[in-house]
Amino acid sequence: MKQTIGHWIAGAAVPGDSGRTLTVHDPATGAATARLAVASAAEVDRAVSAARLALPDWSGSSLARRASVLFAYRALLHSRREELARLISAEHGKVLSDAMGEVARGLEIVDLACGVPQLLKGELSTEVSARVDVASLRQPVGVVAGITPFNFPAMVPLWMFPLAVACGNTFVLKPSEKDPSAAVLLASLATEAGLPDGVLNVVNGDREAVERLLDHPDVSAVSFVGSTPVAREVQRRAVAAGKRVQALGGAKNHMVVLPDADLDLAADGAVNAAYGSAGERCMAVSVVVAVGAVGDDLVARIAERARAVRVGPGDDPASEMGPLITAEHRDRVAGYVDRARAQGAEVVVDGTGLRVPGHEDGYFLGVSLLDRVPTECDAYRDEIFGPVLCVVRADSYEEAVALVNASPWGNGAAVFTRDGGAARRFQLEVEAGMVGVNVPVPVPVGYHSFGGWKDSLFGDHHVYGEDGVRFYTRGKVVTTRWPDPADAGIDLGFPGNS
Ligand code: NAD
């Protein structure tokens, strides 16, 4: 094994000393590529202390200073983006072009954070009463913890810490133990860009590290992205410890195709959104709802495209889809296809037998397409998080929307149609936080916020955009009056506004 990955605390690489390690793999070969230090509660405490120590200076620093560090960081990330993408691809498995897209979408939030003077401008009302002014300010919350999933090892951390530190907070990031290197590189580049030591720290580890962050009295806020059961528990535990929390969970995103849709565009959209990144995206389309008589035609077009998806290692430019994250996850996903057949679905394309020559030990799985999937079937009910697309049929628009809204999740939902009226109705009626009209993966741009409804998000704030600024700051309202002889006198009544 080439290396041991440690932590990044107070502006320096720190080897772990807990005695516990995990192994990081290359999913394309199955080879162990690194040993990962797993933080103990004491090591988490060290990272939180570093963040706490850095807080007074950083939160008191000028907006100009923070913006100039972020601009330098942005330039550095641009110049190193291919290196970052290669690191993502090597540990996650996604193809390089997809990893480059991930970095670009993460950079959007750095762009947003560079504008922090504008974002924190506050509000002032003069003369709200005689000689009284009122100002609304936003101030940092303190030490923020970020806990991130494996599927976007750079983008999801970038959703969080650039905006958090721009708002004057300090940060402790606990990345996924499956692909931690991108996060460590992101932190080291932040130090190189001039971010003071301790403002951004990374602790690697697993549940023990997360639980310590959730319980730690010096952590004021928690941003979490991961699966629904963990998100729910993270929110419960962090709230019980008195913290503000935003916990984004899993998803099962539906794409409704109305009878008037352009079926080629819809089939392209479904294939790209279902199988991109091997379906390991929280905004992946996992269910197509074919409305009316278009089902057979649509399934035929999706199947034709699905059979042509080239599966191979992420660093091969010919590959369109890489391996899954682990062998266990690949086998779990394959199990859904087998069970769907037994539970009454039609398996139109079965990717479970795929082998990639020369990569027999990689965690590859071909793409699968299931038609007429019963809604009681496991493949319909669970988040599979793999390259499996379910198609269900609906007789009407109303039946399709009722189906989408019956889902416990509400992350993304898309409609494909040429009918503006139907699209407008869908936007208003669908229970999801992010809606696409002829856009299958409606991930909002950096200056709009990202977040789902129902079991896809626990907490009140979405991430990045305006909601991100609100989450990473506390509001304060200052009412000012400068003494004037005209205001003299005793009045025990509640202050009025005349
Ligand atoms: P996960 O929930 O297993 O892990 C997420 C993070 O939580 C990791 O850092 C992990 O170490 C930690 N963790 C895992 N189990 C824990 C436990 N019991 N207690 C405390 N911490 C724990 O998720 P994952 O497999 O890494 O990522 C895939 C999931 O993330 C999918 O469900 C996907 O939909 C979801 N996701 C959601 C969004 C979104 O924006 N809603 C974005 C990306 C991924």
- Residue closest to 112 by CA, chosen among 191, 166, 186: 166
Residue 417 CA, ligand 1 centroid: distance in Å = 33
Nearby residues of 151 by Cβ (< 8 Å), 6 or more positions away: 92, 277, 280, 281, 282, 325, 385
From the CA of 248, give the closest atom in ligand 1: 41
- Whether the CB-CB separation of 155 and 106 falls below 8 Å is answered with yes
| HSE (side-chain half, CA atoms, 13 Å) at 9 | 21
- Give kind and range of the element (H or E) at residue 52: helix 41-59
- Residue closest to 356 by CA, chosen among 307, 390, 313, 416: 313
Nearest-angstrom CA–CA distance, 173 and 75: 22
Nearest-angstrom CA–CA distance, 222 and 213: 8
Q: How far apart are the first and last CA of the chain?
A: 74
| HSE (side-chain half, CA atoms, 13 Å) at 370 | 29
Q: How many CB atoms lie within 10 A of CB 374?
A: 14
- Residue closest to 163 by CA, chosen among 183, 146, 147, 180: 146
- Residue closest to 164 by CA, chosen among 182, 189, 190: 190
Give the binding-site residues of ligand 1, using a 6 Å CB cut-off: 147-152, 156, 174, 176-177, 206-207, 210, 225-227, 230, 248-251, 282, 383, 385, 411, 452, 456
Residue 120 CA, ligand 1 centroid: distance in Å = 31
Residue that the structure tokens 């107070």 belong to: 10
From the CA of 282, give the closest atom in ligand 1: 34
Residue 60 CA, ligand 1 centroid: distance in Å = 33
Residue type, 222: V
Nearest-angstrom CA–CA distance, 484 and 42: 56
Identify the pLDDT of residue 484: 86
- Give kind and range of the element (H or E) at residue 224: strand 219-225
- Whether the CB-CB separation of 125 and 133 falls below 8 Å is answered with yes
Per-block average pLDDT, block size 10, for the chain (498 residues)? 90 96 98 98 98 98 98 98 98 98 98 98 96 97 99 98 99 98 98 98 98 98 98 98 98 98 98 98 98 98 98 98 98 98 98 96 98 98 98 98 98 98 98 98 98 98 98 98 87 82
Q: Active site includes 282?
A: yes
Q: How many CB atoms lie within 10 A of CB 372?
A: 16
Report the SS3 class of residue 203: coil
Identify the pLDDT of residue 1: 63
Burial of 84 (0-12, 13-18, 19+ CB in 10 A): buried
Q: Closest residue (by CA) to atom 16 of ligand 1?
A: 207
From the CA of 457, give the closest atom in ligand 1: 41
Longest dimension (CA), the chain: 90
Residue 176 CA, ligand 1 centroid: distance in Å = 8
Nearest-angstrom CA–CA distance, 130 and 486: 10
- Residue closest to 219 by CA, chosen among 274, 145, 286: 145
User: Which tokens go with 328?
Assistant: 């266990």
Identify the pLDDT of residue 240: 98
- Whether the CB-CB separation of 498 and 129 falls below 8 Å is answered with yes
Residue type, 359: H
- Whether the CB-CB separation of 140 and 203 falls below 8 Å is answered with no
Q: What are phi and psi of 470, to 5 degrees?
A: -65, -40
Nearest-angstrom CA–CA distance, 12 and 471: 28
- How are the residues of the chain apportioned to helix, strand and coil, as percentages rounded to the nearest 5? 40, 25, 35
DSSP state, residue 494: P
User: Which tokens go with 253?
Assistant: 């995103």
Instruction: Identify the active-site residue in 167, 282, 377, 390.
Output: 282
- Residue closest to 393 by CA, chosen among 494, 262, 295: 295
User: Which tokens go with 195?
Assistant: 């971010």
**285-291 vs 253-257, strand pairing mode:** parallel
HEC string of 133-187 equals: EEEEEEEECCEEEEECCCCCCCHHHHHHHHHHHHCCCEEEEECCCCCCHHHHHHH
**Interface predicted TM-score (ipTM) of this complex, two decimals:** 0.99
User: Which tokens go with 469?
Assistant: 């600024």
- Whether the CB-CB separation of 211 and 64 falls below 8 Å is answered with no
Q: What is the pTM of this model?
A: 0.98
- Between the CA of residue 481 and those of 53, 81, 486, 487, 490, what are the distances in Å? 35, 51, 12, 10, 16
Report the SS3 class of residue 70: helix
Beta bridge partners of 135: 124, 478
Nearest-angstrom CA–CA distance, 471 and 16: 31
